[in-house]
Homo-oligomer: A and B are copies of this chain.
Amino acid sequence: MGNYNQIAGQNIERISALSDGIFAVTMTLLVIDLHAPANELIHDNAALISALRDILPQVVVFFMSFITLGIFWVGQQTQLNNLASSDRDLTWLHLLFLVFVALVPFSTDLMGGFIEYRLALLIYWGNILLLGTALFLTWRYAMTKDLVKPELSPVLEAGIERRIIIAQSLYAFGAALCVFNTYYSLGFIVLVQINYVFAPRFFGLNKL
């Protein structure tokens, strides 16, 4: 049978290469919104310091988004490293994940510009939720279709899923804190991220 779909999207290396490319561009594009102040408006050191202080929220959000992308990059590459093969549908699920990666500079820009607006925070969190959901689906699909390397223990297989769910629960709790104040939300999200970067060693999460 001449079914095109049997031969499309089988190459894990190409998904990895495209993903690395999209992550690289996205991580660097975050900086584009960190514009140096226009130099016609600045005539002394004090003015430059004050102009730089104005972009401080954007710098903070830049670091937060870089870490967000780093966490999801590590998560995706852990999945890809443990795949024995791919198929067309899994490729498309990874492309779904990548479309949400590509949106991060937009939601970061929005968050940095409107740091006290709940709407901006909820859109930012929505982006993280979509990233987590897509990554959950790629793994669930890979397990269902037996695309995972046979040597991976079932405990580790389940661990990848559980980890996404716990992280997303923490992010959701953080987003909910915006009922009080968007800064509480951001602070909590940053704490969750730091915890994940330093490997889940705090809060007894390293067993997850």
Contact of A73 among B18, B27, B113, B114 (CB under 8 A): B18
Main DSSP-derived SS at the A contact region: helix
**Bound complex: CA of A80 vs CA of B92, how far in Å?**
18
Instruction: Tell whether, in the assembled complex, residue B29 and residue A24 are in contact, meaning their CB atoms are under 8 Å apart.
Output: no
Instruction: Say whether, besides A2-B153, A2-B158, A197-B92, A48 and B7 are in contact (CB < 8 Å).
Output: no
Instruction: Tell whether, in the assembled complex, residue A208 and residue B48 are in contact, meaning their CB atoms are under 8 Å apart.
Output: no
Instruction: Tell whether, in the assembled complex, residue A70 and residue B95 are in contact, meaning their CB atoms are under 8 Å apart.
Output: yes
Within 8 A of B (CB), among A138-197: 152-153, 155-156, 158-160, 163, 197
Instruction: Tell whether, in the assembled complex, residue B2 and residue A45 are in contact, meaning their CB atoms are under 8 Å apart.
Output: no
Instruction: Tell whether, in the assembled complex, residue B14 and residue A14 are in contact, meaning their CB atoms are under 8 Å apart.
Output: no
**Minimum Cβ distance to chain B for residue A151 (Å):** 11
Total interface residues on A, CB under 8 Å, equals 84
**Bound complex: CA of A9 vs CA of B82, how far in Å?**
11
- Residue A10 interfacial (CB < 8 Å): yes
Within 8 A of B (CB), among A1-20: 1-11, 14, 16-18, 20
**Bound complex: CA of A17 vs CA of B23, how far in Å?**
10
Instruction: Tell whether, in the assembled complex, residue B95 and residue A31 are in contact, meaning their CB atoms are under 8 Å apart.
Output: no
**Bound complex: CA of A79 vs CA of B26, how far in Å?**
25
A-B contact pairs, 24 of them (CB 8 A): A1-B155, A2-B156, A4-B78, A4-B156, A7-B82, A7-B152, A8-B75, A9-B74, A9-B78, A14-B20, A17-B20, A20-B24, A22-B28, A24-B24, A26-B28, A28-B102, A28-B105, A30-B102, A31-B103, A34-B106, A38-B113, A39-B113, A48-B120, A88-B199
